[in-house]
């Protein structure tokens, strides 16, 4: 079966004060029907920019797809008309944005905002759209949906606002749901509830999920396959269990080592948390013909500083863009 989404050699360029920078550099990946994958990496590595490119929401006049293809059901989203993109966006591909308080309109009730999507894409009348909006609030486990549908976003907690965003995203039963840091600023119990909700909805609807996060724990919870991004490039890709057990790229190992582990009792030896030194390079360094992680890498050699690493494949399932991947 052909993949639902296929990204081929995608390059996205942004205009900066210093010139044009490749914020995404030669990215390729596939998403199958009903599959869940996760993009992982620090802020500024290109995760959200990839999602915006898929949605056709790159910053106007600043960002553009310089080369490559984004094939959705065989249709290249980089060349379709704006009208076709509007038909797809919110209907066949939906996105849960990072901050629900700024994504929801503060002057409209949550019911009106859900109903608007249904009227626009499903051609429902006002009464039918309102009834469906109430059902969606119930589906995302907001108590008393018949009453809460008349609430404004400020009258809801952070977790409830995020559930409203999920209801809007799922209103038209999309084939792909993109979740950009869906549990940012939520406490751990609410995070667990949101993950449970997304898993249940995926089982019920068969929706494919792309989750964007910097949290390796969230990846282990939600995804079957993961893509580690660094400075606009794919550092590592493969099944979540394989990468967590045998990460080949030093950046991936650094991300994993930053996750604290709970010990059985206080007498057990605690594993020391390590940190990745330095910061993600600025946009002016993106696209250079070398390993962009070399300045922070404990395994760096002269080869890393002089040449872009080739991608090595392990077991036919795991890929790592590191000159020293086979040494692990």
pLDDT of residue 87: 92
pLDDT digits (tens, 9 = 90+) for 124-146: 999 999 999 999 999 898 999 99
pLDDT of residue 259: 77
Q: How many CB atoms lie within 10 A of CB 267?
A: 6
Give a yes or no: residue 86 inside a domain.
no
pLDDT of residue 274: 79
Give a yes or no: residue 251 inside a domain.
yes
Give yes or no for residue 271 having a pLDDT over 70.
no
Whether 163 and 299 share a structural domain = no
Question: Any idea what the CATH number is for the domain that residue 39 is in?
Answer: 3.40.50.300
Give a yes or no: residue 28 inside a domain.
yes
Whether 287 and 218 share a structural domain = yes
The model scores a pTM over 0.85: yes
Phi, psi torsion values for 264, nearest 5 degrees: -65, -40
Whether 300 and 183 share a structural domain = yes
pLDDT digits (tens, 9 = 90+) for 68-111: 999 999 999 999 999 999 999 989 999 998 777 788 999 999 99
pLDDT digits (tens, 9 = 90+) for 281-306: 999 899 999 999 999 999 999 999 99
Whether 209 and 74 share a structural domain = yes
Whether 54 and 181 share a structural domain = yes
Residues in the chain: 328
Give yes or no for residue 233 having a pLDDT over 90.
yes
Give a yes or no: residue 259 inside a domain.
yes
User: Is the separation of the CB atoms in 209 and 222 below 8 Å?
Assistant: yes
Mean pLDDT of the chain: 91
50-77: average pLDDT: 95
Give a yes or no: residue 180 inside a domain.
yes
Whether 156 and 183 share a structural domain = no
Q: How many domains does the chain have?
A: 2
Structure tokens that stand for 101 in this block? 């308080």
Whether 19 and 33 share a structural domain = yes
Give yes or no for residue 265 having a pLDDT over 70.
no
- The DSSP output letter for 155 is G
Give yes or no for residue 266 having a pLDDT over 90.
no
16-44: average pLDDT: 93
SS3 content of the chain, % helix, strand, coil (to 5): 35, 25, 40
Whether 72 and 115 share a structural domain = no
Q: Which residues span the domain enclosing 57? A: 5-81+175-188+204-327
Give yes or no for residue 262 having a pLDDT over 70.
no
For residue 223, the SS3 value is coil
pLDDT of residue 133: 96
Whether 209 and 318 share a structural domain = yes
41-57: average pLDDT: 94
11-26: average pLDDT: 92
Give a yes or no: residue 87 inside a domain.
no
Give a yes or no: residue 233 inside a domain.
yes
- The DSSP output letter for 58 is P
Structure tokens that stand for 282 in this block? 């600025």
Report the greatest alpha carbon distance in the chain: 67
pLDDT of residue 190: 80
Give a yes or no: residue 197 inside a domain.
no
Whether 113 and 76 share a structural domain = no
Whether 244 and 102 share a structural domain = no
Whether 37 and 14 share a structural domain = yes
Instruction: Identify the residue whose tokens are 């080592």.
Output: 257
pLDDT digits (tens, 9 = 90+) for 149-161: 999 999 999 889 9
How confident is residue 196, by pLDDT bands cut at 50, 70 and 90?
A: confident
3-state SS string for 258-308: CCCCCCCCCCCCCCCCCCCCCCCCCHHHCCCCCCCCHHHCCCCCHHHHHCC
Q: Name the residue among 107, 158, 103, 109 with its Cα closest to residue 129.
A: 109
């Amino acid at each position: 079966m052909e993949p639902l989404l296929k990204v081929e050699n995608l390059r996205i360029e942004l205009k900066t004060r210093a010139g044009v920078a490749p914020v995404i550099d030669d990215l390729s990946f596939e998403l199958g029907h009903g599959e869940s994958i996760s993009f992982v990496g620090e802020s500024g590595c290109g995760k959200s920019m990839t999602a915006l490119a898929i949605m056709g929401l790159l910053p106007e006049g600043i960002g553009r797809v310089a080369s490559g293809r984004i094939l959705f059901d065989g249709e290249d989203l980089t060349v379709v008309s704006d009208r076709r993109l509007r038909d797809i966006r919110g209907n066949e591909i939906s996105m849960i944005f990072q901050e629900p308080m700024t994504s929801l309109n503060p002057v409209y009730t949550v019911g009106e905002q859900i109903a608007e999507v249904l009227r626009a894409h499903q051609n429902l009348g006002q009464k039918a759209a309102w009834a469906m909006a109430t059902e969606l609030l119930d589906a995302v486990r907001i108590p008393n949906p018949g009453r809460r549908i008349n609430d404004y976003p400020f009258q809801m907690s952070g977790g409830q606002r995020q559930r409203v965003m999920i209801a809007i995203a799922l209103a038209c039963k999309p084939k792909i749901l993109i979740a950009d840091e869906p549990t940012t600023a939520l406490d751990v119990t609410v995070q667990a509830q949101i993950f449970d909700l997304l898993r249940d909805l995926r089982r019920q609807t068969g929706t494919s999920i792309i989750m964007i996060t910097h949290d390796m724990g969230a990846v282990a919870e939600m995804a079957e396959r993961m893509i580690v991004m660094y400075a606009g490039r794919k550092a590592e890709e493969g099944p979540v269990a394989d990468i967590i057990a045998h990460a080949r790229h030093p950046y991936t190992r650094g991300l994993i080592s930053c996750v604290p582990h709970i010990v059985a009792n206080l007498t057990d030896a605690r594993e020391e948390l390590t940190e990745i030194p330095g910061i993600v390079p600025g946009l002016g360094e993106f696209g250079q013909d070398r390993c962009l992680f070399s300045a922070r890498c404990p395994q760096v050699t002269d080869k890393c500083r002089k040449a872009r690493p080739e991608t090595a494949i392990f077991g036919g399932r795991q890929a790592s863009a590191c000159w020293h991947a086979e040494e692990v």
